[in-house]
Structure 1
Amino acid sequence: MAPHETINQYKFIIDSSNRSGSTMIIMKNTILIFLFSISVCSSYANDFDKTCEYFNELSQKPNLKYLSSPERYSFIENKVRNFKEDSLAKSAWYSLSVSPEFRYELFKQGAEEIIGSSWDCPSMKTLSPTVAEGELSK
């Protein structure tokens, strides 16, 4: 199964959850299993760091406080979409887009499992809850 097909399955699982404690544990485990199920390539592990760099860029935008949550999401998504189709960070990003309040911890855990060492991104931790899909204002 192609990564994008699997992502759609996980988005359904996350969308249909009520985000209770047990559902979040199931969601976390499902995402981690998903990340493990894709073959690991070291060149794609760097995409986790690139995603962090994009959050760093976002955090330094002078008009940050005026950007809506969908505008913030669009800023990151426009960069992540350029990762290769089989990028683990790209798969994780799209899998976790529907739950911004939990995105950082799940993304961090996935990154650490993939790269095999500690991973941290303070700007993503801070901004992730304020970056969500939605309709952009015109």
Structure 2
Amino acid sequence: MLHYVYGAVKKSMEAYVTRAESNLVEVPLPFPVNSNDEFVSDFRKALERGKSNGNRVRLAVIDHVTSMSCVVIPIKELIQICRKEGVDQVFVDAAHSIGCTDVDMKEIGADFYTSNLHKWFFYPPSIAS
């Protein structure tokens, strides 16, 4: 997961890996962001750490637009890297992307893509997609 990940998502991931007796790899990403190449390079390094010692990466959690820093993550490229590197599944937390970015689910290619419609469509808070 990216170190920009939303706090509740981070806590969920930490709880999951604790129960699964697994490891969590947090991707430290630069801020301010100078280029997508920095993101991609740091993401690749984190995948290498995750795959060290014969381990495999079972789930990558990637924000589409980060919550606190409002950075648009190059998710299509990161998902392609995950596919090439054998990551089992990719989950995109897109709570802030619906209404802010163009979203083409087929083109993005994530296994899971979830957003909250209350942020930009003024729906009740319980509505998510």
Taking structure 2 as the reference length, what is the TM-score of the superposition?
0.37
Greater relative contact order structure (CA < 8 Å, 6+ sep): 1
Q: Select the structure that is richer in strand.
A: 2
Q: Select the structure that is richer in helix.
A: 1
